[in-house]
Amino acid sequence: MDSNKLEYSLFDYISVGVCIINRDYRVQFWNEYMEAYTGYSSSEIINKPLNEFFPAFENEKYRDLVENVFIGWPPVILSSRLHSPFFTFKEQENKDRFQDLTIVPILVPNSESYNAIITVTDVTDITKKLEEQNTLYRQAQEEIRIRKQIQKKLRESEKNLKELVLTKDKFFSIIAHDLINPFNALLGLSNILISGCEEKDYEKVEECSNLINISTESVYALLINLLDWSRLQLGKFQLNPEQFKVEESIDNIISQLISSADGKEITIIKYVQPSLTIFADRNMFSTVIRNLLSNAIKFSFRKGKIEINASIVNKDMIVAISDTGIGMTQDDIKHLFKIDSNASSPGTEKERGTGLGLILCKEFIDQHKGKIWVESEIGKGSTFCFSLPIHEHL
């Protein structure tokens, strides 16, 4: 053994553990670093089976790897990141050390056989630094994630606040102009009506009565939309779906608006199968039909035509309301259904509107997981379409 000690004495001057074992796993060399590192001296371990001191080397998986080294195969590298420590310690205070192992073949002098030289590198400090860096990295990632969540919530809050401000502005704009103006007109017409009655000018009375009726219907429709819209903003408009006949609901809305259509000599044609049913909120559906049909009447020319179609396409019911009115540009279409734009414009006979009806339509259709869209061309009219799923799970 003295010859071995002399032959490998250079290994005592490196800061890496070195252990040499023969094919019987008996220790042939144990450098000073290993003595200090494990607490086992050379005299205790030389010529003793390595696995008697370090049971990890009894593991069949590792023995197979070492056996390959004994026949001259390439080195085996065992990282502390993947394997538990192989070399344990006499002193328990060292038990939490991390080590990397490299096992390489070394030719036995004057022989064709191989021993195995095991180098042990303590990587505890590096590993702990890596763990600290990983911990810091994870903390940084978590902080970034939380910051992103906060930023997202702030953006959402900002968006909601902006929508609330726009909603408030829209509401006061409607009250200040669209609701007050018709009442001013009604007051003026009522004075003319009183004058006509006093003068027994029945032609003037009839004309004023018709105008008062038209203005009253307009104000009533606006008040209904305002009421629905305010309930929607307060979260008090609950979806109450039921199965109902589509034609009956459409007929009911047509009967409510027929006087407005007759006033402009507009023909309303309906293409709806009597048996067609839908599972939806009946009131919301009626509100959508009422607003779209009112728009069609408003923007149709005198003696025009409006068509209402309803049919099943795949798993949706699609309703289309077409008019032969003034039509819209693509830029006009982009601004429909948005609270932050003043998309309303006068009708063919100067009828006023607020754009609120279309916003309501979109809100109600969205609640049904449906879609609404417009096809239009200047001078050729518009077609407002919406789809609703026909299933019974909303």
Domain annotation covers residue 134: no
Is residue 322 within 8 Å of 341, Cβ to Cβ?
no
pLDDT at 354: 65
What's the CA gap between 118 and 27, in Å, rounded? 10
With bands split at pLDDT 50, 70 and 90, how would you rate the model's confidence at 236? low
Alpha carbons 376 and 329: distance in angstroms, whole number: 7
> What is the pLDDT at residue 85?
81
Cα 290–174–386 angle (5° rounding)? Answer: 30
Q: Provide CB contacts within 8 A for 97, sequence distance 6+.
A: 85, 89, 122, 124
CA distance 34 to 44: 12
The two tokens of residue 309 are: 């179609």
Looking at the domain assignment, is residue 127 inside a domain? Answer: no
Decide if 84 is inside a domain. Answer: yes
Least confident interval from 196-210, 237-251, 368-382: 196-210
CATH number at residue 160: 1.10.287
Q: What is the pLDDT of residue 56?
A: 84
Which residue has better confidence, 372 or 348?
372
Q: Can you tell me whether residue 385 is helix, strand or coil? A: strand
End of a domain among 189, 211, 237? Answer: 237
CATH of the domain at 83: 3.30.450.20
Same domain, residue pair 315 and 207: no
pLDDT of residue 1: 47
164 and 290 inside one domain: no
C-alpha of 142 from chain center:
20
Query: Same structural domain for residues 176 and 96?
Result: no
| Residue 116 shares a structural domain with residue 254 | no
Say whether pTM exceeds 0.75.
no
Residues 175 and 304 in one domain: no
In the chain, the number of structural domains is 3
Question: Is 231 in the same domain as 250?
Answer: no
The answer on 285 and 227 residing in a single domain is no
User: Which tens digit of pLDDT belongs to each residue from 23-69?
Assistant: 999 999 999 999 998 889 999 999 999 989 988 888 888 888 888 89
Q: In what order do the strands lie in the sheet with 17-21?
A: 27-30, 17-21, 114-122, 99-107, 76-78
Residues 228 and 305 in one domain: no
| pLDDT band (50, 70, 90) for residue 353 | low
Distance CA 85, CA 83 (A): 7
For the chain, how many residues are written?
A: 394
Residue 277 shares a structural domain with residue 394: yes
The mean pLDDT value for 349-360 works out to: 76
Domain at 385, CATH number: 3.30.565.10
Q: 89 near 34, Cβ under 8 Å?
A: no
Asked if 379 contacts 326 with a C-beta cutoff of 8 angstroms, the reply is: yes
* Section 272-286 average pLDDT: 92
**Lowest-pLDDT choice from 85-94, 211-220, 332-341, 380-389:** 211-220
Q: Do 225 and 293 fall into the same domain?
A: no
Answer yes or no: do 9 and 57 share one domain: yes
170 Rama class: left (phi>0) / alpha (psi -120 to 50) / beta? alpha
> What digits encode the pLDDT tens for the residues 161-172?
877 777 666 666
Range of the domain at 352: 238-394
Whether 138 is covered by a domain: the verdict is no
pLDDT-wise least confident of 6-20, 46-60, 199-213: 199-213
End residue of a domain, out of 62, 93, 122: 122
User: Of 212, 237, 262, which closes a domain?
Assistant: 237
In this structure, is residue 130 part of a structural domain? no
